[in-house]
């Protein structure tokens, strides 16, 4: 696997690899993706293979601009146009009715397709130079922690023959994945996955915005019947290999004999063992940026258990708490 940097030569090599049907580790403002040509069914299949991802979990297709993104959809609800105008390029994914001629595997047999226009300049450069829509899930092995720097991708994708290289643009600015929004009909606008675009901002545009609770999604007949339930709601996800226990802010951990590592929001508690503080200043944006890297370090620390505390449940804090509760499931 090559380690590329954003220069003329490496951009060309990366784009050539994509044209040949190979995959690349690709920086975005949220997390690093594993990108392949969305129009090439074989390349799409190899994304699932490289990730070890079950084929019922659909991908996000990335496009250089809104027109190119909407060209991938069969139709675009007015609510989606409005959100795209406000928030693209950026950490927002829209689930739209799918165009039937695109590879089936992209949307895992659902009648919808997830699309997004990323804002990262290096991501955009690859999209523009290749002229291709790029299918890109996060570049981690299935169920593992999403990568937020090129080294994580090298670690996760080592030995995968179809991954030609990773383009290194440093750590991701946001650190959590995009917010996924769907339109299941009758004007409903539903958040399937909280993420880098805070719910409060979306609500400014769509006051009636619904946020689906992972555990109740199966009971919503409209979501299930229309195949719009986001498999990203898979309850356990983003998990370190070490068991993780999630505590309420201010909760005191029970005594234990095992060796423990600690993930705290802003204050370092009186504890023994490896500690990671997400943001000394208590800044949720900084906490989001550091979340996955801190989890990876604790996972590598050889402890029996990771104890994590919830962060304030507002803004990016919702996405952080969502990822932590899935890691803890
Ligand atoms: O920030 C991100 O979104 C990153 C970067 C690389 O763009 N990508 C990412 O992809 O997180 P992935 O594959 O790890 O997550 C895709 C999410 C999942 O929750 C998936 O279930 C949901 O999008 N999704 C994809 N297609 C869908 C569809 N047709 N209906 C509902 N949910 C869908
Ligand atoms: Mg993922």
What confidence tens digit (pLDDT) does each residue in 104-141 have?
999 988 899 999 999 999 999 999 999 999 999 999 99
Backbone phi, psi, residue 78, to 5°: -55, -35
Ligand 1 atom with least separation from CA of 110 = 29
The Cα angle at residue 309 between residues 306 and 314, in degrees rounded to 5:
140
Residue 234: predicted pLDDT: 55
Instruction: Report how far ligand 1's centroid is from the alpha carbon of 180 (Å).
Output: 7
What confidence tens digit (pLDDT) does each residue in 65-101 have?
999 999 999 999 999 999 999 999 999 999 999 999 9
Alpha-carbon gap, residue 191 to 11, rounded angstroms: 34
**230 pLDDT above the threshold of 90:** no
Instruction: Report how far ligand 2's centroid is from the alpha carbon of 254 (Å).
Output: 32
Percent over 70 (pLDDT), the chain: 92
Does CATH place domain 2-167 in 3.30.160.110? no
Q: What is the mean pLDDT of residues 6-20?
A: 98
Alpha-carbon distances, residue 261 vs 19, 176, 242, 306, 317 (angstroms): 44, 22, 10, 5, 21
Mean pLDDT rounded to a whole number for the chain: 92
Is the CB of 140 inside a 6 Å radius of any atom of ligand 1? no
Residue nearest to atom 12 of ligand 1 (CA): 137
The ligand minimizing its distance to the Cα of 91 is 1
Cis before residue 262, ω within 30 degrees of 0?
A: no
In contact, 262 and 274? CB cutoff 8 Å: yes
User: 255 or 41: which carries more pLDDT confidence?
Assistant: 41
The ligand minimizing its distance to the Cα of 32 is 1
Query: How many other C-beta atoms can be found within 10 angstroms of the C-beta atom of residue 55?
Result: 13
Instruction: Report how far ligand 2's centroid is from the alpha carbon of 31 (Å).
Output: 9
Instruction: Report how far ligand 2's centroid is from the alpha carbon of 75 (Å).
Output: 26
**From the candidate CATH numbers 3.30.70.2190, 1.10.1490.10, 3.40.50.2020, 3.40.50.11030, the one assigned to the domain spanning 244-328:** 3.40.50.11030
Is the CB of 194 inside a 6 Å radius of any atom of ligand 1? no
Ligand 1 atom with least separation from CA of 176 = 1
Residue nearest to atom 3 of ligand 1 (CA): 178
Helical spans, DSSP H, in 179-305: 199-205, 221-225, 284-299
Instruction: Report how far ligand 2's centroid is from the alpha carbon of 12 (Å).
Output: 27
In contact, 99 and 114? CB cutoff 8 Å: no
- Structural domain spans, the chain: 2-167, 244-328
Q: Which of 58, 143, 212, 229 to mutate to test the pocket of ligand 1 (most atoms within 8 A of CB)?
A: 58
In contact, 242 and 304? CB cutoff 8 Å: yes
């Amino acid at each position: 696997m090559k380690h590329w940097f954003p220069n003329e030569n490496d951009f060309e090599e990366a784009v050539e690899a994509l044209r040949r049907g190979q995959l690349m580790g690709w920086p975005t403002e949220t997390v690093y993706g594993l990108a392949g040509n969305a129009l090439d069914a074989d390349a799409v299949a190899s994304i699932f293979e490289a990730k070890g991802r079950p084929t019922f979990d659909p991908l996000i297709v990335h496009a250089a601009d809104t027109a190119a993104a909407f060209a991938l959809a069969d139709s675009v609800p007015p609510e989606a146009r409005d959100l795209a105008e406000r928030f693209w390029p950026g950490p927002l994914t829209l689930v739209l009715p799918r165009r039937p001629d695109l590879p089936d595997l992209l949307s895992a047999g659902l009648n919808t397709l997830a699309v997004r226009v990323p804002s990262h300049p290096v991501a955009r450069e690859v999209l523009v130079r290749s002229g291709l829509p790029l299918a890109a899930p996060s570049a981690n092995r299935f169920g593992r922690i999403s990568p937020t720097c090129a080294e994580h991708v090298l670690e996760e994708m080592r030995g995968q023959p179809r991954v030609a290289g990773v383009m290194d643009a440093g750590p991701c600015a946001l650190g959590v994945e995009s917010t996924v929004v769907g339109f299941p009909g009758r004007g409903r606008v539903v958040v399937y996955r909280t993420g880098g675009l805070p719910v409060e901002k979306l609500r400014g545009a769509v006051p009636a915005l619904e946020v689906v609770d992972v555990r109740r999604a199966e009971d919503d007949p409209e979501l299930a019947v229309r195949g719009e339930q986001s498999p990203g709601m898979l309850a356990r996800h983003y998990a370190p290999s070490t068991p993780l226990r999630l505590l309420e802010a201010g909760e005191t951990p029970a005594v234990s004999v095992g060796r423990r590592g600690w993930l705290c929001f802003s204050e370092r508690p009186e504890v023994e063992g490896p500690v990671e503080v997400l943001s000394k200043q208590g800044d949720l944006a900084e906490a989001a940026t550091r979340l996955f890297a801190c989890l990876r370090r604790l996972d590598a620390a050889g402890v029996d258990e990771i104890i994590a505390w919830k962060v304030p449940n507002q803004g990016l804090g919702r996405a952080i708490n969502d990822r932590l509760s899935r890691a803890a499931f």
